């Protein structure tokens, strides 16, 4: 049988990375080999992100860059299949087929499990176009083959993995496309999640990051037949997988940060002391206009409780700058909140109006120049906080989970519990091990570390 090659490119959030991995699981079953080489690929899948305008533009320019001549070729001469998947596919659908004749298939984040049928349909008749944007009633996850973590990675085998436990969003923040591209909130049953985790552990995975657009909003059927909360699921992980070294989760919503979950951060050594908890703005006016469903004080109260439960927890957030109507006072409230919380790291973006969202219709859009100025001020502050957080670890001993090779021979790269990258001189055999190391120096955002025992 001839081997076919497939190239999968991911943009956007971790959930897209996970979906890309699952598409690889399907394709390998269909006798595809994965490749990074665009010229070699018989099938190209762009797994796209629609969150900001730039993310969407990149897809079209990348398509043109990789395959510049293809749009002029008659369909019967084309043998390479080009597919657009992910959130741009879900949002723009048929438009993509019209705009880019090079594209053969368009399918969304909830329909990629039907790839085998789609490819079969395409193979039967040259020039066919496939469009599948259904939010199916069947369980996508049930239709997927078991995941194999080696497909997407080159050697060495990965020691960390993502596991999607929750999908979709019912929050409808006024700026955001996710509820439209990913559909309604859905939680997978605990038994299915544990079965997938078990499979990952058998492949030498040491750290699992649970994923969901509102991951801490997970609530589902427990393995005991009762309804479980997200915190209960985390305790379930600790009970079921004593051999697992690290557990993380992202992205969480302040509205689901309940006391039981905050307690879990203090009680579960398995749960890493790092939390990405986006607030978007420090101004109550903006939070209201954004339809976030929480105010600044709600958020600050959660942070206080989290720090009381887990004193060393490192915090991260997302910020949107220049939302319609944002005044100097609103922006000052954001700066003031950042000073109050003191973040270990954070992401900040200029507001980007997205078609179909309520905020895009607001007339009081902020001037680009003001957005840029405010973003720069915020990013300077966040960078300074990140640097101070990192410098506070110099000379301390931290457990580093080593994941892969570094730039130089005998160098390995890993992460601290707080997600900071760290590198040390160590042999390959230490990949997958958590080793206590002294933090020597900080270069850019990574630490040079040394094992406290002679572990090399
Ligand atoms: N579910 C997550 C966010 C997912 S989107 C949450 O509620 O926190 C990831 C981030 O993209 C958001 O936190 C937000 O900061 C940013 N984002 C979303 N829509 C945006 C827009 N229209 N313009 C700029 N940034 C946006
Ligand atoms: Fe978007 Fe808000 Fe849902 Fe997060 S909670 S995915 S920002 S709508
Ligand atoms: Fe982007 Fe879709 Fe994720 S819009 S951020 S890939 S949910």
Residue ranges of alpha helices (H) inside 318-414 are 328-341, 368-391
Phi, psi of 407 (to 5 degrees): -70, -35
Q: Which residues form ligand 1's pocket by a CB distance below 6 Å?
A: 51-52, 175-176, 178, 213-214, 251, 253, 278, 280, 318, 320, 349, 351-352, 354
Residue 52 host element (H or E): none
Residue 195 near residue 152, CB atoms below 8 Å? no
Ligand nearest the Cα of residue 164 is 3
Q: Average pLDDT of 311-323?
A: 98
* Short-list 210, 275, 257, CA closest to 238: 210
CB within 8 Å of 306: residues ≥ 6 apart: 257, 262, 265, 275, 313, 315
Ligand nearest the Cα of residue 17 is 3
pLDDT at 287 over 50: yes
Choose the residue to mutate in 14, 46, 109, 178 for probing ligand 3, maximizing ligand atoms within 8 Å of C-beta: 178
Angle at 106 between CA 105 and CA 109, to 5 degrees: 130
pLDDT at 69 over 80: no
| Band of residue 76 on the pLDDT scale cut at 50, 70, 90 | very low
Angle at 247 between CA 231 and CA 10, to 5 degrees: 110
pLDDT in tens, 85-139: 999 999 999 999 998 888 999 999 999 999 999 999 988 777 889 999 998 777 8
Ligand nearest the Cα of residue 47 is 3
CB within 8 Å of 428: residues ≥ 6 apart: 156, 405, 412
Q: What is the pTM of this model?
A: 0.96
Residue 455 near residue 426, CB atoms below 8 Å? yes
* Short-list 41, 31, 39, 30, CA closest to 8: 41
Choose the residue to mutate in 176, 177, 212 for probing ligand 2, maximizing ligand atoms within 8 Å of C-beta: 176
Residue 397 near residue 437, CB atoms below 8 Å? yes
12 CA distance to ligand 3 middle (Å): 5
The confidence score (pLDDT) of residue 1 equals 64
177 CA distance to ligand 1 middle (Å): 9
DSSP 145: P
pLDDT at 375 over 50: yes
* Short-list 283, 279, 263, CA closest to 271: 263
Q: Average pLDDT of 428-452?
A: 95
Antiparallel, parallel or unpaired: β 434-443 and 446-451? antiparallel
Q: Average pLDDT of 231-239?
A: 98
Choose the residue to mutate in 171, 175, 214, 323 for probing ligand 2, maximizing ligand atoms within 8 Å of C-beta: 171
pLDDT in tens, 161-182: 999 999 999 999 999 999 999 9
- Here the tokens at position 54 are 């730039």
The confidence score (pLDDT) of residue 56 equals 78
Angle at 189 between CA 184 and CA 191, to 5 degrees: 160
* Residue bearing the bigger pLDDT, 453 or 362: 362
- Mean confidence (pLDDT) of the chain: 93
Q: Average pLDDT of 390-417?
A: 95
Residue 402 near residue 413, CB atoms below 8 Å? yes
The confidence score (pLDDT) of residue 77 equals 45
| Band of residue 60 on the pLDDT scale cut at 50, 70, 90 | confident
Q: Which residues of 404-426 are buried (b: 16+ CB within 10 A; e: fewer)?
A: bbbeeeeebbbbbbbbbebbbbb
pLDDT at 332 over 70: yes
% of the chain exceeding 70 in pLDDT: 96
d(Cα 353, Cα 16) in Å, to the nearest integer? 22
d(Cα 89, Cα 100) in Å, to the nearest integer? 12
The confidence score (pLDDT) of residue 455 equals 54
- Here the tokens at position 301 are 């109260």
pLDDT at 452 over 50: yes
**CB distance 349 to ligand 2 below 6 Å:** no
pLDDT at 65 over 90: no
d(Cα 416, Cα 246) in Å, to the nearest integer? 11
d(Cα 199, Cα 88) in Å, to the nearest integer? 31
The confidence score (pLDDT) of residue 99 equals 87
**CB distance 176 to ligand 2 below 6 Å:** yes
d(Cα 145, Cα 456) in Å, to the nearest integer? 38
310 CA distance to ligand 1 middle (Å): 26
DSSP 102: T
Atom of ligand 2 nearest to the CA of 169: 3
Atom of ligand 1 nearest to the CA of 354: 22
The confidence score (pLDDT) of residue 154 equals 64
Antiparallel, parallel or unpaired: β 220-221 and 207-211? unpaired
DSSP 239: H
In DSSP terms, which residues pair with 388 in a beta bridge?
none
353 CA distance to ligand 3 middle (Å): 15
Q: Average pLDDT of 261-281?
A: 98
* Residue bearing the bigger pLDDT, 202 or 138: 202
In Å, how far are 250, 311, 324, 376 from 351, measured between CA atoms?
22, 33, 8, 14
The confidence score (pLDDT) of residue 113 equals 95
């Amino acid at each position: 049988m001839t081997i076919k090659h497939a190239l999968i490119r991911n943009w956007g959030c971790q959930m897209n990375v996970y979906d890309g991995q699952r598409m690889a699981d399907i394709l390998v079953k269909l006798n595809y080999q994965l490749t990074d080489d665009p010229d070699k690929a018989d099938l190209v899948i762009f797994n796209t992100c629609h969150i900001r305008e730039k993310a969407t533009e990149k897809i079209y320019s990348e398509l043109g860059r990789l395959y510049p001549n293809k749009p002029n070729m008659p369909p019967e001469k084309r043998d390479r299949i080009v597919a657009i998947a992910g959130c741009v596919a879900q949002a723009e659908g048929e438009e993509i087929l019209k705009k880019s004749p090079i594209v053969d298939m368009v399918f969304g984040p909830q329909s990629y499990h039907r790839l085998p049928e789609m490819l079969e349909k395409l193979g039967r008749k040259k020039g066919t176009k496939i469009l599948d944007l259904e939010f199916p009633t069947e369980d996508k996850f049930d239709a997927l083959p078991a995941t194999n973590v080696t497909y997407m990675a080159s050697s060495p085998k990965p020691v960390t993995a993502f596991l999607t436990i929750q999908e979709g969003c019912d929050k409808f923040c006024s700026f955001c496309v996710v509820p439209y591209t990913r559909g309604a909130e859905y939680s997978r049953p605990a038994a299915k999640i544990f079965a997938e985790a078990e499979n990952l552990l058998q492949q030498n995975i040491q750290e699992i990051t649970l994923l969901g657009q509102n991951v801490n909003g997970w609530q589902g059927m427990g393995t005991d037949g009762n309804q479980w909360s997200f915190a209960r699921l985390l305790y379930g992980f600790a009970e079921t997988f004593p051999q697992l070294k690290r557990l993380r989760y992202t992205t969480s919503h302040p509205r689901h940060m309940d006391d039981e979950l905050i307690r879990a951060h203090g009680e579960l050594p398995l749960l890493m002391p790092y939390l990405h908890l986006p607030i978007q703005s420090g101004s109550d006016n903006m939070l209201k206009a954004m339809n976030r469903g929480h105010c600044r004080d709600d958020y600050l109260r959660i942070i206080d409780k989290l720090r009381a439960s887990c004193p060393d927890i490192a915090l991260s957030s997302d910020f949107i700058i220049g939302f319609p109507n944002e005044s100097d006072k609103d922006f000052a409230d954001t700066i003031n909140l950042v000073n109050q919380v003191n973040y270990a790291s954070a992401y900040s973006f200029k507001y980007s109006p997205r078609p179909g969202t309520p905020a895009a219709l607001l007339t009081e859009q902020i001037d680009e120049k003001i957005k840029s100025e405010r973003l720069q001020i915020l990013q300077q502050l966040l960078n300074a906080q990140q640097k101070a957080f990192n410098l506070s670890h110099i000379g301390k001993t931290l457990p580093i989970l080593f994941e892969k090779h570094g730039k130089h021979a005998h160098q390995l790269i890993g992460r601290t519990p707080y997600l900071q990258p760290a590198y040390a001189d160590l042999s390959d055999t230490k990949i997958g091990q958590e080793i206590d190391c002294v933090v020597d120096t900080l270069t850019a955002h990574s630490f040079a570390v040394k094992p406290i025992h002679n572990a090399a």
